[in-house]
C-alpha cells in the first residue's frame, strides 16, 4: 500500500504545472491631448493603431516567470487627424511554470500566458477609455499563437540572409 502512494507521489512531482499567480499593472498612461475640443462638435470617426509587445523574464523564485503585455493604442479622428486618446499599458503576470519541457517553454510564455492575460488587459484598457470620457475601447481578440509563429518565421528568414 505504501509503495503505491510513493509511486503516485513520484508521478505527481513530474507533472507539469501551469498556474497564474498574480496579475498587476506595471505602468499605465492615458493621454487626452486635445480635450476638451474633441468632445464638442461632431462625432469623431476613430482610427486605431495598436502596437503590442511581449516580454518575459525568469524570476528568482523557483519556476516563476513574469510575463508582460506592453500595449500602446493610439486613437485618432480619421476626419481631422487629431488624436483622441493614447493608452499605454504594461500589464504583467506572474506564472508558475514547473516541469514544462524546455522546448515547450517559449510557447507557454508567449502564447499560453498572454492568452490568459489578454481579457484582463482588454478590460483595463476599456475602462480607462471610459474614465477618459470616451466610449469603451474594445480591442479585438488577439491570436497569440499566430503572432508567435510569425515571429519565429521572421527570425528564421533573417538568419537565412
**Tens digits of residue pLDDT in 8-63:** 444 467 899 999 999 999 999 999 999 999 898 777 889 999 999 999 999 999 99
- In this structure, what are the phi and psi dihedrals at residue 113, rounded to the nearest 5 degrees? -65, -45
Q: How far is CA 142 from the centre of its chain?
A: 9
Whether the CB-CB separation of 7 and 103 falls below 8 Å is answered with no
* CA 68/CA 40 separation, integer angstroms: 37
Average pLDDT, the chain: 91
Average pLDDT over residues 57-82: 95
Close Cβ partners of 25 (under 8 Å, ≥ 6 residues apart): 89, 90, 91, 92, 124
pLDDT at site 12:
65
Q: How far is CA 118 from CA 29, 50, 95, in A?
A: 18, 14, 14
pLDDT at site 55:
96
Three-class SS state of 115: helix
- Which of 137, 133, 138 has its CA nearest to residue 39? 133
* CA 56/CA 148 separation, integer angstroms: 14
β-pairing, 83-98 vs 46-58, is: unpaired
Walk me through the domains of the chain, giving residue ranges and CATH numbers.
16-154 (3.10.420.10)
* CA 68/CA 94 separation, integer angstroms: 9
Three-class SS state of 29: strand
Higher pLDDT pick, 2 / 90: 90
Lowest mean pLDDT segment, chosen from 1-10, 11-20, 100-109, 149-158: 1-10
Average pLDDT over residues 132-152: 93
pLDDT at site 4:
53
Q: How many Cβ atoms sit within 10 Å of the Cβ of residue 95?
A: 25
pLDDT at site 42:
79
Map grid coordinates 503516485 to a residue: 8
Lowest mean pLDDT segment, chosen from 32-46, 55-69, 71-85, 107-121: 32-46
Amino acid at each position: 500500500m505504501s509503495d503505491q502512494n510513493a509511486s503516485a507521489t513520484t508521478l505527481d512531482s513530474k507533472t507539469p504545472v501551469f498556474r497564474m499567480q498574480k496579475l498587476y499593472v506595471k505602468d499605465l498612461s492615458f493621454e487626452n491631448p486635445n480635450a476638451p475640443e474633441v468632445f464638442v462638435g461632431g462625432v469623431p470617426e476613430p482610427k486605431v493603431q495598436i502596437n503590442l509587445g511581449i516580454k518575459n523574464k525568469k524570476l528568482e523564485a523557483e519556476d516563476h516567470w513574469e510575463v508582460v503585455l506592453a500595449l500602446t493604442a493610439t486613437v485618432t479622428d480619421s476626419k481631422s487627424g487629431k488624436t483622441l486618446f493614447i493608452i499605454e499599458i504594461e500589464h504583467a503576470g506572474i506564472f508558475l511554470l514547473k516541469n514544462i519541457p524546455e522546448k515547450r517553454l517559449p510557447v507557454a510564455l508567449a502564447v499560453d500566458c498572454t492568452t490568459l492575460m489578454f481579457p484582463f488587459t482588454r478590460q483595463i484598457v476599456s475602462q480607462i477609455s471610459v474614465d477618459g470620457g470616451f466610449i469603451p475601447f474594445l480591442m479585438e481578440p488577439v491570436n497569440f499563437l499566430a503572432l508567435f509563429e510569425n515571429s519565429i518565421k521572421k527570425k528564421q528568414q533573417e538568419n537565412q540572409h
